[in-house]
């Protein structure tokens, strides 16, 4: 009951991985050959990088996978000491059983300091006969060139709408989740290609113990109903500052949002408003300034109200 769904439904084999066919086909070829080079996985969060690394190690080593794989995740230290200590120690010892090499998988490799990356590069070269690395990161640009050039690079893409839907529908059926059709679409929309985010939001929503509606989805993902945000902005543009301010209150309270959450959503709503392009440009400029002030610690209520006042002024120029 308390099991985390992202772990429970994490694919165990490369064949079960959703989407990323351009990646999994090449990885399966390594498994078939029983050999691989160093690999660099790049791409957004929750798209299957860790999943593919684990699945590949299991397929490559069979029952001996545990002893031949070392997994370093974000909670481990990322300085040069780890590279010289723990990593080197594992890399230089012989593989177990019938395996001809070991694998070190490192999540968030872009968090390594440049000194640590330089040391890692030497370890990769020195023990490459018996140890292969799989490095995972969001942006390849943060990995030094000499490491990049030693790795085969695999780019993971955000998952498509259909892939997200198929995966979520499977969990919904197996867990007997009660969810509205538009709530499911909303969930896919807010996940933006991140399967971990979608599954976590589904589990949190389901734990509330009633039919999942679009509102439940917004509440569990730290977003307000986009229609409510749009109506608030239109009300300000229409000149009713006080009504818009009440709407701001209820959005923040009802959805439990911070000033930064609101400003981010306001920003993505401008393009749906029926105002001219030059008015949009002024708004985006103003929003950038206000977002900066909020991040710097200024009172978020005052800043958000200032934005509504600005909308009233823009609207006033057209009335």
Chosen from ligand ATP, Mg ion, none, partner binding at 4 (C-beta under 5 to 8 Å by type): none
Chosen from ligand ATP, Mg ion, none, partner binding at 20 (C-beta under 5 to 8 Å by type): ligand ATP
CB neighbours of residue 1 within 10 Å: 3
What CA–CA distances, in Å, run from 90 to 33, 51, 73, 116, 127?
A: 24, 22, 15, 16, 10
Helix axes 181-191, 161-175, angle to 10 degrees: 130
Closest CA to 251 of 304, 188, 293, 173: 304
Residue 288 Cβ vs ligand ATP, minimum distance, rounded to whole Å: 27
Contact assessment for residue 106 and residue 70, using Cβ atoms and an 8 Å cutoff: no
Residue 43 Cβ vs ligand ATP, minimum distance, rounded to whole Å: 6
* Residue nearest Mg ion (C-beta atom): 50
In the numeric block, the tokens 């050039």 are attached to: 149
Residues that bind ligand ATP (CB under 6 A): 6-7, 9-11, 17-20, 45-51, 107, 138, 195-196, 199
Residue 104 Cβ vs Mg ion, minimum distance, rounded to whole Å: 14
**Is residue 163 close enough to count as binding Mg ion by CB under 5 A?**
no
Chosen from ligand ATP, Mg ion, none, partner binding at 231 (C-beta under 5 to 8 Å by type): none
Residue 156 Cβ vs ligand ATP, minimum distance, rounded to whole Å: 6
Nearer to Mg ion, 107 or 291 (CB): 107
**CB-hemisphere CA count at 13 Å for 131?**
23
Nearer to ligand ATP, 131 or 195 (CB): 195
Strand bridging mode 69-72 / 151-155: unpaired
Chosen from ligand ATP, Mg ion, none, partner binding at 195 (C-beta under 5 to 8 Å by type): ligand ATP
Nearer to ligand ATP, 88 or 197 (CB): 197
Residue 17 Cβ vs ligand ATP, minimum distance, rounded to whole Å: 4
Residue 194 Cβ vs ligand ATP, minimum distance, rounded to whole Å: 8
Restricting to residues 44-63, which ones interact with Mg ion according to CB under 5 A? 49-50
Nearer to ligand ATP, 164 or 232 (CB): 164
Phi-psi region of 177 (alpha: psi -120 to 50; beta: other; left: phi over 0): beta
Restricting to residues 101-140, which ones interact with Mg ion according to CB under 5 A? 107
In order, the DSSP letters of 173-195 are HHHT--B-HHHHHHHHHHHTT-H
Q: What does the angle CA 268 – CA 199 – CA 25 come to, to the nearest 5 degrees?
A: 100
Residues engaged in binding Mg ion (CB under 5 A): 49-50, 107
């Amino acid at each position: 009951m308390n099991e985390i769904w992202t772990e429970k439904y994490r694919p165990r084999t490369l064949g079960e991985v959703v989407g990323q066919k351009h990646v999994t086909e090449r990885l399966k070829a390594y498994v078939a050959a029983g050999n691989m080079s160093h690999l660099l996985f790049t791409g957004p969060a929750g798209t299957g990088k860790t999943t593919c690394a684990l699945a590949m190690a299991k397929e490559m080593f069979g029952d001996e996978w545990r002893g031949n794989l070392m997994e370093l995740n974000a909670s481990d230290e990322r300085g040069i000491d780890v590279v010289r200590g723990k990593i080197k120690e594992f890399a230089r010892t012989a593989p177990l059983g019938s395996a001809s090499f070991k694998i070190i998988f490192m999540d968030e490799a872009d968090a390594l300091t440049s000194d640590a990356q330089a040391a890692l590069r030497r370890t990769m070269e020195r023990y490459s006969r018996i140890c292969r690395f799989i490095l995972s990161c969001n942006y390849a640009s943060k990995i030094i060139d000499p490491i990049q050039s030693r790795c085969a690079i695999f780019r993971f893409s955000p998952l498509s709408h259909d892939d997200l839907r198929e995966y979520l529908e499977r969990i919904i059926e197996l867990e007997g989740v009660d969810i509205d059709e538009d709530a499911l679409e909303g969930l896919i929309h807010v996940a933006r290609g991140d399967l971990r985010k979608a599954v976590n939001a589904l589990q949190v929503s389901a734990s509330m113990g009633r039919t999942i509606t679009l509102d439940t989805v917004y509440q569990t993902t730290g977003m307000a109903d986009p229609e409510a945000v749009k109506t608030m902005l239109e009300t300000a543009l229409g000149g009713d500052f006080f009504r818009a301010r009440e709407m701001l209150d209820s959005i923040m309270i009802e959805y439990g949002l911070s000033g930064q959450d609101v400003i981010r959503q306001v920003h993505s709503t401008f393009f749906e408003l029926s105002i001219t392009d030059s008015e949009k440009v002024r708004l985006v400029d103003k929003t950038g300034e206000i977002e900066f002030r909020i991040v710097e610690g200024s009172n978020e209520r005052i800043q958000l109200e200032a934005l509504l006042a600005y909308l009233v002024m823009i609207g006033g120029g057209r009335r």
